[in-house]
Amino acid sequence: MDVSYHGHAVIKIQVNGKTILIDPFINGNGLTDLKADEETPDVILLTHGHGDHLGDTIEIAKRSEALVVAPNELANYLSWKGLKTHPMHIGGKYQFDFGTVKLIQAFHGSAITDDENETIVYTGMPSGILFMAEGKTILHAGDTALYSDMKMYGEQHDIDLAFLPIGDNFTMGPEDAKIAASWFRAKHVVPIHYNTFPVIEQDPEAFVASLDCKGTVLQTGESLTL
């Protein structure tokens, strides 16, 4: 299984002959190496409906006919846009032909904001994603604050690789993300959701150096093999 990082919270997984994109925020993401009109994933996994995570999902999924797996209300919204969706909810898991997806808690918000018309469309509860395939478990924590049930998830799941937000302001900062890494009992941690905007600027190398487990700062386009 090949797992690569593409700026902000964008992750690409290649496994079982499938390409999976998580939170494909590409246009407007100054840190990504991807081009929305060139991506042809088989599956898109979404943590929540904010624009820097939903991103270019509609454009990409319409062109590639990708299956979009998302929290229930967000999945329903996207189905109305003509996408092929699989709705889930926190605590539920489902075994697909490409691997198993389980949604976990994330303490954050989830909405699509229309600035021009000053309206907000609620898209259900935000989530983190546990993805399991080939005997490995990957955690994409989504946008979240620190919460004590991370300990429970760490006890329930053998997490090989965890992508944790460190940007602060909207999510955990480095100090809380370090605690989260310990509570999740992650074997390997990669920081995400930082430096895309001035308000979330952080030093990822300092964060990784502070960890009590293995940590890696992935540059845009770099990958790990599990």
Q: 100 CB contacts (<8 Å, ≥6 apart)? A: 93, 94, 131, 132, 133
Q: Which of 52, 35, 34, 54 is nearest to 44 (CA)?
A: 54
Looking at the DSSP bridge assignments, the partners of residue 214 are: 188
Measured at the alpha carbon of residue 195, what is the angle toward residues 167 and 214, in degrees to the nearest 5? 65
Q: What is the pLDDT of residue 207?
A: 98
Let me know if residue 36 belongs to a domain: yes
Let me know if residue 225 belongs to a domain: no
DSSP-assigned letter for residue 110: -
Backbone φ and ψ of 165, nearest 5°: -70, 140
Q: What is the pLDDT of residue 201?
A: 98
Q: What is the pLDDT of residue 218?
A: 98
Which CATH number belongs to the domain containing residue 15 in this structure?
3.60.15.10
Looking at the DSSP bridge assignments, the partners of residue 140 are: 129, 163
Let me know if residue 223 belongs to a domain: no
- Residue 100: CA atoms inside 13 Å, Cβ hemisphere, count? 13
Let me know if residue 226 belongs to a domain: no
Q: What is the pLDDT of residue 182?
A: 98
Do residues 182 and 215 lie in contact, with contact meaning Cβ atoms separated by under 8 Å?
Answer: no
- Counted domains in the chain: 1
Give residue 93's domain range. Answer: 2-218
Per-residue pLDDT of the chain (226 residues; tens, 9 = 90+): 999 999 999 999 999 999 999 999 999 999 999 999 999 999 999 999 999 999 999 999 999 999 999 999 999 999 999 999 999 999 999 999 999 999 999 999 999 998 999 999 999 999 999 999 999 999 999 999 999 999 999 999 999 999 999 999 999 999 999 999 999 999 999 999 999 999 999 999 999 999 999 999 999 999 999 9
Let me know if residue 141 belongs to a domain: yes
Let me know if residue 74 belongs to a domain: yes
Q: Is pTM beyond 0.75 here? A: yes
Let me know if residue 13 belongs to a domain: yes
Let me know if residue 103 belongs to a domain: yes
Would you call 42 exposed, middle or buried from its count of C-beta atoms within 10 A (0-12, 13-18, 19+)? Answer: middle
Q: Report how far Cα 189 is from the mean position of its chain's Cα atoms.
A: 14
